[in-house]
Amino acid sequence: MAATGFIKAIGMALKIEENVSLKTYSTMRVGGVAKYLARVSLKNDLVEAAEFAKDKGLSIFILGRGANVMFKDSGFDGLVIVNDIRGFEVIEENDEGATIKIGAGEDWDKTVLKTVEMGLSGMEALSLIPGTVGAAPVMNIGAYGQEVAEIIESVTAYDLRENKFAVLGKENGGFQYRASRFSGEDKGRFIIADVTFKFHRNRMKPPFYRDVEKYFEDNGVTDYSPQAVRDAVIYIRTNKLPDPNKIATNGSFFKNPVIGKEKWEELVKKFPELDTAEPQWPQKPRWFLDNGTVKIAAARLIELAGLEGYEEGGVSLWPTQHLTVVNKDAKSAGDVLAFKDKIKAGVKEKFGIDLEEEVQVVG
Ligand SMILES: Cc1cc2nc3c(=O)[nH]c(=O)nc-3n(C[C@H](O)[C@H](O)[C@H](O)COP(=O)(O)OP(=O)(O)OC[C@H]3O[C@@H](n4cnc5c(N)ncnc54)[C@H](O)[C@@H]3O)c2cc1C
């Protein structure tokens, strides 16, 4: 549905539209209508948008590029704030590294490119992850041996509870595997306006993920510069994952489940394949974590449940990454949700494990 027009325009800056289709605001490209939507490019606009929602008693949903969000057909009966705050301010740069404050609405991969070109290390393995800088701390994005929390110094955010901006140091971010305070206990409370990162100039060190190591071997790379790691990651991701600009997807739909040691021992007796390397799984599909728990590759569980390449209702699993759900021609968000429930049910039936969604389903 097309927007029914602007209902609020303050100066040249803040515009709030009414009845906006959310389909193009999520890379899954399904979903209903937002009652109101504001695109915010200034910190002051955030405050205005928040006040607008408060006056009308509306809930707020903060959105970057929607790479990790899909909307239900019921849409969002409140105000969606699309964060488009820009900026790239080098606070300090020296032989050791640099401290840079970056606007939440900046494109993530363009930011990685810029910092790699400055010879800085910290984000290079996170190349080609779709989305914005402001969303990166929320899910503590990670890939190929790096996690964004490692280089976050602080986050500036508008606190919707206290109605003021706050600067939260890394120690106050509650960062964990694919989670943070912003996705956990304080979900929806803070609108991140900018993030300050502390980069260094050290090289990443082996051992690398098997795919990265293979790329280095095949290409005779021995200097693991930020650019070399970025090149490797771009090569691997381009060959393995769908490009959300061309194919509707939110990437990995499920988290890798983490289970207790006892459950793992029972499971591996029944399914020794979970503890073996295979040609397509050159690394064993499980990781023993420091706290005694075991993380299992959800993609392997999906494969072993016989769901590889499964397709129904215009939705399918991506052939080279079984965690990735793609919308080929689903009629609605309902089709995508029914599909992911089937995958979850298949894994539960075979292994007794509940897969948890990594993608946020809104509505
Ligand atoms: C093909 C593909 C591959 C992917 N690969 C990876 C990967 O390797 N590793 C990985 O970790 N992720 C991956 N993702 C997931 C996704 O790219 C990240 O989660 C990314 O950070 C989402 O950015 P976004 O701007 O689109 O956020 P959105 O999807 O718009 O939002 C994500 C969450 O953050 C919140 N949020 C967004 N902006 C703000 C803000 N400014 N303030 C407060 N809250 C905010 C939203 O409310 C929502 O809860 C992949 C996704 C796709 C489609």
Atom 3 of ligand 1 has which residue's CA nearest to it?
251
Is 221 within the bounds of a domain?
no
**Active-site residue identified among 39, 65, 178, 237:** 178
Is 213 within the bounds of a domain?
no
Let me know: does 2 contact 46? Beta carbons within 8 Å: no
Atom 19 of ligand 1 has which residue's CA nearest to it?
68
| Counted domains in the chain | 3
pLDDT per residue as tens digits for the range 297-331: 999 999 999 999 899 999 999 999 999 999 999 99
As a residue count, the chain comes to 363
Is 318 within the bounds of a domain?
yes
Is 222 within the bounds of a domain?
no
Q: Of 65, 83, 101, which marks where a domain is finished?
A: 83
Q: Of 175, 200, 225, which marks where a domain is finished?
A: 200
The two three-digit tokens of residue 96, written as one number: 């050791």
Pocket probe mutation, ligand 1, options 29, 63, 186, 211, max atoms within 8 Å of Cβ: 63
Whole-angstrom CA distances from 285 to 5, 131, 135, 290 are 51, 27, 28, 17
- Domain of 347, CATH number, reads 3.90.78.10
pLDDT at 159 over 60: yes
The answer on 110 and 56 residing in a single domain is no
**Active-site residue identified among 26, 147, 252, 286:** 252
The answer on 265 and 184 residing in a single domain is no
Residue 2: its pLDDT value, please? 46
- Domain of 26, CATH number, reads 3.30.43.10
The answer on 94 and 195 residing in a single domain is yes
pLDDT at 291 over 50: yes
Domain membership of residue 63 as a residue range:
6-83
The answer on 97 and 21 residing in a single domain is no
The answer on 131 and 33 residing in a single domain is no
210 is catalytic: no
The answer on 10 and 94 residing in a single domain is no
Is 24 within the bounds of a domain?
yes
The answer on 72 and 99 residing in a single domain is no
Query: By percentage, how much of the chain surpasses pLDDT 70?
Result: 95
pLDDT at 65 over 70: yes
51 is catalytic: no
pTM of the model: 0.93
The answer on 120 and 70 residing in a single domain is no
Please give the Cα distance from 344 to 355 (Å, whole number): 6
Please give the Cα distance from 70 to 271 (Å, whole number): 33
Q: Is the peptide bond before 319 cis (omega within 30 degrees of 0)?
A: no
Segment 175-202 mean pLDDT: 95
The answer on 190 and 139 residing in a single domain is yes
CA of residue 11 to ligand 1 center, whole Å: 31
Q: Of 27, 58, 83, which marks where a domain is finished?
A: 83
- 192 in ligand 1 pocket by Cβ < 6 Å? yes
Please give the Cα distance from 267 to 274 (Å, whole number): 8
Is 232 within the bounds of a domain?
no
Q: How far apart are the first and last CA of the chain?
A: 17
Is 207 within the bounds of a domain?
no
pLDDT at 279 over 80: no
- 129 in ligand 1 pocket by Cβ < 6 Å? yes
The answer on 353 and 258 residing in a single domain is yes
Segment 330-347 mean pLDDT: 97
Is 149 within the bounds of a domain?
yes
Query: For helices 226-240 and 108-117, what crossing angle results, to 10°?
Result: 150
